[in-house]
Amino acid sequence: MIALKNLIKTKLKMNNISIVIIIYILGLIFGAVLFGLWDSNTGPKSLIGMVWTIIFLITLFYAEKKDR
């Protein structure tokens, strides 16, 4: 079990910022395909993208703070 954890740490070494950015991009693609965030009509759906970006910026701030 310990050997498996060490193998995962060495092979899949990604810092927190990379993980946050990947999750953000996947969330944007998911929102564009499923919710139609970039349709021509604006409305409450556009607020979803803004809230998602705010959450991304807050998470990025704390991930960068933790890496230091």
Query: What are the pLDDT digits (tens) for 40-52?
Result: 676 777 787 888 8
Q: Does residue 10 sit within a domain?
A: no
Q: Report the pLDDT averaged over residues 27-50.
A: 77
When divided into structural domains, the chain yields a total of 1
Residue 27, phi then psi, degrees to nearest 5: -65, -40
**pLDDT at res. 6:** 64
**Residue range(s) defining the domain that contains residue 27:** 15-67
Q: Does residue 47 sit within a domain?
A: yes
Q: Does residue 2 sit within a domain?
A: no
Distance CA 59, CA 54 (A): 9
How many residues can be counted in the chain?
68
**What amino acid is encoded at 31 in this protein?**
G
**Stronger pLDDT, 59 or 42, i.e. the higher one:** 59
Across the chain, mean pLDDT equals: 76
Q: Does residue 6 sit within a domain?
A: no
Q: Does residue 8 sit within a domain?
A: no
Q: Is the pLDDT of residue 30 over 70?
A: yes
